[in-house]
Amino acid sequence: MAGEIGFELQGPTACAQEIYDAVLDAGQEFGIRRLEGGAVFINHLEACFPTILTDYLPAIFGPDMAEYLAEFRAAMPPFASTFIIAGSFEAHDVSAWYRSQIELGWGKSIKLDPRLPRS
């Protein structure tokens, strides 16, 4: 998100702070620094990545996703659990703001045949 090579780490939430602290500690000699949440919105400008809630909504608001949405909101900090739709577009169904991977420009990254290398 800072215009540099990066990695996404995934694992149990219970280990998050310990791993976060370890990464920051290990990166001190390389000049690692916190960029805060505002850096997320630079990513879509620099790398042409659609940004959740800015360019699209996740398709988690329909009745068939109610259980998942409840779990999603419970896992988020209170300040991150509110979705705001901005702009002049109007619709009567939230799914009008959903976008497919192709609409978001990610088609070049989709491989349906697992034998093919990623681009």
- Which pLDDT tens digit goes with each residue over 29-81? 999 888 776 666 666 666 667 767 667 788 888 889 899 888 888 887 776 65
Spatial separation of the C-alpha atoms in residues 19 and 11, rounded to whole Å:
9
Spatial separation of the C-alpha atoms in residues 91 and 65, rounded to whole Å:
20
Q: Are residues 19 and 72 in the same domain?
A: no
**Cα of 15 vs its chain's centroid, Å:** 20
Q: Are residues 45 and 61 in the same domain?
A: no
Choose one of 10, 31, 49: the last residue of a domain.
Answer: 49
Q: Are residues 59 and 19 in the same domain?
A: no
What pLDDT is recorded for position 17? Answer: 92
Q: Are residues 21 and 35 in the same domain?
A: yes
Q: Are residues 111 and 89 in the same domain?
A: yes
Q: Is the pLDDT of residue 2 over 60?
A: no
Q: Are residues 63 and 84 in the same domain?
A: yes
Residue 80 tokens read as: 């991150």
What range does the domain containing 94 cover?
54-119
Predicted structure pTM score:
0.45
